[in-house]
Structure 1
Amino acid sequence: MPKNTHIMLDQDNIEEILNAISRSDLFLTYDTSHFYTNDGDVYLLWERYHKIIRNVHLVENFMTESDTHPPLGSGKVKFKEILNVINSYGYKGALVIELSSNKNLQESIDYIN
């Protein structure tokens, strides 16, 4: 995925947009693959925005130039670290597994359990 071609892919841009919109009913979806492809800092993101993250997309990736959605655990996204951070903030929202095919769904569920 090309870097910085979309909005809200780095923390400075997220902050800029949230400040410009300035609404109390605006929330974030944290997408693990998008954040990986843009070298995001999961600790900083959750420290700053844990109160407004309402949805998490668990998406694997092994390249920074594309977003192929392979089975969780088969790429470079650090899910154990990410899940530890998410749990440390008491996140109770949705965890959505995004895959390119449903044939790897059980493998991905088993990986995060």
Structure 2
Amino acid sequence: MDYAQTQSNLGNAYIILAEVENKAENCENAFKAYAEALKVRTYERFPIQYAATQNNLGNAYRTLAEVKNKVENYENATKAYKKALKVFKKDKFPECYSKVANNISNLNKELTWILEND
């Protein structure tokens, strides 16, 4: 589990770095780190950590959408967020549920605006 935590932290660090420089490259590095974390943090074995990593993955796609393939990356972000919601149920994890559901709602609004105005 330490390896998965390290990979997740690495992914988070790449996303922070992406806000400062080389957004696309750092997002791609984050995807690789999150993929490594998800090899250990499976839905079956570590559902809470799996959901947290899926949420982070969604954030990474959302960040990448700022510089390329906006619609595709918004859709990928939404898929990742929905995977997180399989664990973060409203009754068991209301705060996490609220944050992830809000991310999906915001993406849907942005995606609708893009599709209507392009």
Q: Same fold (TM over 0.5)?
A: no
Higher normalized helix content (fraction of residues):
2
Of structures 1 and 2, the one with the larger relative CO (CA 8 A, separation 6+) is 1
Which TM-score band applies after superposition, normalised by the shorter structure? 0.3 to 0.5
Higher normalized strand content (fraction of residues):
1
